[in-house]
Copies of this chain bind each other. A is one copy, B any other.
Amino acid sequence: MATVEGSVLRVPDDTLAGRLALSACTVDSGVNSLADIRSWLARRRAGQLHHVERIPFAGLRSWRFEDGSGDLRHDSHKFFRIQGLRVHSDYRHVRQWTQPIINQPEIGILGILIRDIDGVPHCLMQAKAEPGNVNGAQISPTVQATRSNYLRVHAGNTVPYLEYFQNLHHGNVLADVLQSEQGAWFYRKRNRNMIVEVDGPVEVGDDFCWMTLGQLHVLLAEDNTVNMDTRTVLACLPGGFEGARGDRGEFMSALVSSCDPARGGLRTRTEAMSWITSREAQHDVRTELLGLNEVREWRRTEDVIRHQEDRFFRVMAVSVRADSREVAGWTQPLIEPVGVGSIALLVKRVAGVLHALVSARVEPGYRGTIELAPTVQCIPANYAGLPGELHPPFLDYVRERDPGQVWFDAELSEEGGRFYHARNRYQIIETPEDFPDGGRPDFQWLTLHQLNSLLMHSNYVNVQARTLVACLRGLR
């Protein structure tokens, strides 16, 4: 950040967008080539081998179903608790239900350290295995720590680089915002998404590697490589750099224009905000935490807690043996979705400006009533056997063989520390300008500039949409 000459007053750093754009354009870095990074990730995957086994709940150590409530919780009362939630909602055809939910009231830190190396900003990324990952280590933020982690509840090692995110100095914070996570699985969870820039030398541990935004964007398009926590933090990078990346073809030109507030959009900023307010005020959602014992439509066996029709997700338990973690081995519960999800953002060009069709989505674990979600976000298996009119809007369109120009298509995983094999197919699909969106009041076409502005604040853009914003920025 810059200080006005001869004054104590400070204004934003106007070189930032250009520097981030340079990083986003740089795939051949002299620090580490893409081949170097792939080879480092493969080494760390081998080095952090996790042996993960499904176990019955009776095999959990230090976790128990609490007397009375039936909640599944840790003996320390830290980490998280799986309890029950009763939901009344006017949003979908089911108006009232109960379900298990993860209650983790602590605010964790997801932080990426950035440093100029050879004149190009590089991110210090971590290879980190999580028990729920399908493939061991994925590329993670520099710091990914719950409060219990960094207050050392399980008496393991300290969290490397944490001090950069706890002792902030003038001008070195590029982003610092609380963001929600999956509102269907987490009760009002939030993490502090941080990006901090440093000047001086930084020692790089074995599990860490410098890479440019451009390199991260290449890896983001590969299946199950860049983890959810990295994606949400990348989405919180101050927007604008996409607009400084130059023009390659009509679609990219429309993407660049979409970041330029002077070009405008189908809605002004005030209208977009008014639409969000109207959706937040429109939907009536009330929730009440319950004991896990009070959840009605779910059944508990020795191994799983599942919905009576085996829809949605299951609560299950694993035993983990690992060599590179805060502790050497542990058991824990995880949430296992019943199938691979489909998460798609429809985009279209209007007068040369790219617009994305977002949905105002109700999830019971949100702190507000709605957050903005991708056009489609569901687990198709949940709708097996249901008539088409009960399918989520646009799902059938996205699942057609040729739904439009596909700009992004990769399978990415959700947080492997809480979710077991939670895989989603993420897609960005361009539709014709006259795409029939049906004028549905819960859907709206917004520009990337509008989404960027919302991402500086909490509780507007949900975690799945944040992944797709990061993917949009990474298109080349």
Contacts and interface: CB of A to CB of B under 8 A. Distances in A.
Interface in A256-309: 261-271, 273-274, 277-278, 280-281, 286
A12 B262 CA distance: 9
Nearest to A350: B8
A380 interface: no
A112 interface: no
A94 interface: no
Contact of A238 (B270, B367, B458): B270
Contacts of A270: 1, 12, 173-176, 238
A192 B271 contact: no
Contacts of A177: 273, 277
A457 interface: yes
A42 interface: no
A10 B176 contact: no
A4 B350 CA distance: 13
B265 A9 contact: yes
Nearest to A460: B457
Given A173-B271, A176-B273, A270-B173, A11 B350 contact: no
A95 interface: no
B9 A263 contact: yes
A153 interface: no
A4 B456 CA distance: 27
Interface string A359-378: 00000000110000000000
B10 A265 contact: yes
Contacts of A368: 367, 458
A178 interface: yes
A401 interface: no
A7 interface: yes
A31 interface: no
B12 A269 contact: yes
A255 B350 CA distance: 40
Given A274-B173, A281-B192, A456-B273, A10 B268 contact: yes
A56 interface: no
A393 interface: no
A12 B268 contact: yes
Given A4-B264, A107-B281, 5 more contacts: A8-B266, A8-B351, A10-B264, A171-B271, A177-B277
Query: Lowest 4 A-B CB distances belong to which pairs?
Result: A176-B274, A11-B264, A9-B264, A173-B274
7 contacts: A9-B264, A10-B265, A11-B262, A168-B274, A173-B274, A176-B277, A367-B368
